Amino acid sequence: MNGTYEFYAPFAHIPGRYEVARIHTTTHGSFDTFIVITTTTDRPVTVYVNSDAGEQFMADRYPESTAVRVGAEDLVITESPDGELVRVVLAAVDLTFRRVGSDPPVAAPYGGEGFAVWGSTYTCTGVDMEVPAVVNGHVALPAQEPLAPASPAVEHLSDKPGVITRGSYGYINPL
């Protein structure tokens, strides 16, 4: 694969922890994801996907990471019409990102040459148009298995700082 552009919207995250994104690619179409970051974004992650396209994307592009396939109805991302609120619901995950303040989005460059996305053989350079958010809800992370409602390890989030992007793009290129 030569370089390709991707667009991410809606996209919200708790930096270094969780990301929720609808990924739009020229190679695999559009699909929803919930991403669990265990160390940093240059190391393998766990990505929950709810479609054949998402599952194939992970197998083709990021086999170093763990892809967990769930039903289309089991991973739902919604965004308010004004983009001020993003919500993800996935089995034992229910997070709502709500914009705070009214300052215009700030361009936040990320990645760069030599930055291995999710421990893969691909690099990504891009820009997020970020606005601050607070995050409320919960995440239940089981040990060594997909998210499940009965998981005992529940993290409750109350007004946790987060980010909503008002647009994000990345240029993906082999390392």
Query: What pTM was computed for the model?
Result: 0.90
Question: Residue 42 CB: number of other CB atoms within 10 A?
Answer: 15
Structure tokens at 114: 């030599």
pLDDT in the model for residue 141: 65
Q: How far is CA 135 from CA 36, 76, 145, 157, in A?
A: 15, 17, 24, 7
Residue type, 94: D
Tens digits of per-residue pLDDT, 145-167?
455 555 457 889 999 999 999 98
pLDDT in the model for residue 115: 85
Would you list the domain boundaries of the chain?
4-174
Residues in the chain, pLDDT under 50: 143-145, 151
Task: List residues bridging with 32 in a β-sheet.
Answer: 22
pLDDT in the model for residue 1: 65
Structure tokens at 27: 């190679």
32 and 49 Cβ atoms separated by less than 8 Å: yes
For 73, which DSSP code?
A: G
